[in-house]
Amino acid sequence: MCEESNKKPFPFQISSVCPRNLTEEEKIKLEKDKNVISEFKQNKLEKEAQKNWDLFYKRNTTKFFKDRHWTKREFSDLFYEEDEQTEDCKTILEVGCGVGNFLFPLLEEFKKLYFYACDFSIRAVQFVKENSLYNPDRCHAFQCDITCDDLCKEIPPDSVDAVSMIFVLSAIHPDKMVAALKNILKILKPGGCILFRDYGLYDHAMLRFGPGHKLCENFYVRQDGTRAYYFKTDELTLLMESAGYSCVNCEYIQRETVNKKEGLCVPRIFVQAKFIKSIADKVNSSQPIEVSKTCEYTTGDKQEENITSKGEGNNTDIQSRVVLDYCCNIQDTSEVIKS
């Protein structure tokens, strides 16, 4: 049985671990849509992906998407009430920043956030930089293809607290998704998180595609040449885990979009999730780790006491010392590090 919850504070919204049930008419429609676009056309779409997104922003400028004020509510654990005593300054990367609909509302409200923002489209990045709220002291926007451009050329490794991926991974070819996620992993701090929201399986937009738009299973091309993938939650979790992340939560968000004037009520399905970079990745980091703890530990049937390890070094140095993760306040790992 699927679990559903109304815990999300949003009208007409239900969270669920299962995709929505299709009507018989919808099942028949999907069953008939088996033919995929030719390999030649698919290769052409891949080569022209950046051009198609630049044309999208040329047509729509900054007017297509609304500011995403809902992100503070949906990802509330990232944010905090600021006052004069607040010293913690979080660093956030927005992947697929578009024209700044996520970025600028948060910069206005949280004065101690620093943002990196990147997008595939050069034109979108230019719109961000032209915004009156853009401040180079608090934000760095740059063009990037996250599937192949090394993020470490723009952002120091292990330096970002959180990454937002909101309706961006779906635009990437499935064969390149893992490469993009591994690229992001490099700049996340150990314990840092990805805040994810994207199109879910059987979303109304997926069911509207007619013949001649299917690229592969759950991957479609729009009329303007931009593409969209519709995720299953279990599939997304496996994808993230293969790239080196741990899943905190991953669920379907089911909403209804109502147009009273037209008498329409359509089901929107999104996947919302949070994934973290394991704190154990500190061991594999190029940055020095300082350890100074005394503790007891047990290996097999033998108990050793008062094992002390102190010093600073990288992975090679640390492997010569025996350190219990709970003594070092490292969470989410239970292995003893030893040579």
- What tens digit of pLDDT does each residue of 89-128 get? 889 999 999 888 888 888 888 888 899 999 999 999 999 9
Q: Do 235 and 299 reside in the same domain of the chain? A: no
Q: Do 338 and 201 reside in the same domain of the chain? A: no
Q: Do 250 and 293 reside in the same domain of the chain? A: no
Q: Do 154 and 177 reside in the same domain of the chain? A: yes
* Stronger pLDDT, 309 or 59, i.e. the higher one: 59
**Last residue of one domain, picked from the residues 277, 294, 325:** 277
* Stronger pLDDT, 339 or 28, i.e. the higher one: 28
The span from the CA of 51 to the CA of 39, in Å, is 19
Check if the beta carbon of residue 3 is closer than 8 Å to that of residue 16. Answer: yes
Most confident range, picked from 109-118, 133-142, 304-313, 319-328: 133-142
Q: How many domains are there within the chain? A: 2
311's enclosing H/E stretch is strand 302-313
Domain that holds residue 308: 281-339
Check if the beta carbon of residue 330 is closer than 8 Å to that of residue 290. Answer: no
157-172 mean pLDDT? 95
Instruction: Map 14-80 to HEC letters.
Output: EEECCCCCCCHHHHHHHHHCCCCCCHHHHHHHHHCHHHHHHHHHHHHCCCCCCCCCHHHHHCHHHCC
**Last residue of one domain, picked from the residues 225, 252, 277:** 277
Q: Do 319 and 259 reside in the same domain of the chain? A: no
**Last residue of one domain, picked from the residues 239, 258, 277:** 277
Tens digits of per-residue pLDDT, 52-87? 988 988 887 555 444 445 555 655 656 555 544 555
Quote the tokens at residue 95.
């992947």
Check if the beta carbon of residue 27 is closer than 8 Å to that of residue 207. Answer: no
Tens digits of per-residue pLDDT, 250-283? 999 998 877 777 777 788 999 999 999 987 655 4
- pTM tops 0.85: no
Mean confidence (pLDDT) of the chain: 78
Question: Taken in order 97, 99, 102, 103, is the CA torsion positive or negative?
Answer: positive
Whether the per-residue pLDDT at 48 is higher than 50: the answer is yes
- At 19 the pLDDT is 85
The span from the CA of 142 to the CA of 126, in Å, is 9
Q: Do 59 and 98 reside in the same domain of the chain? A: yes
Q: Do 16 and 66 reside in the same domain of the chain? A: yes
Q: Do 305 and 248 reside in the same domain of the chain? A: no
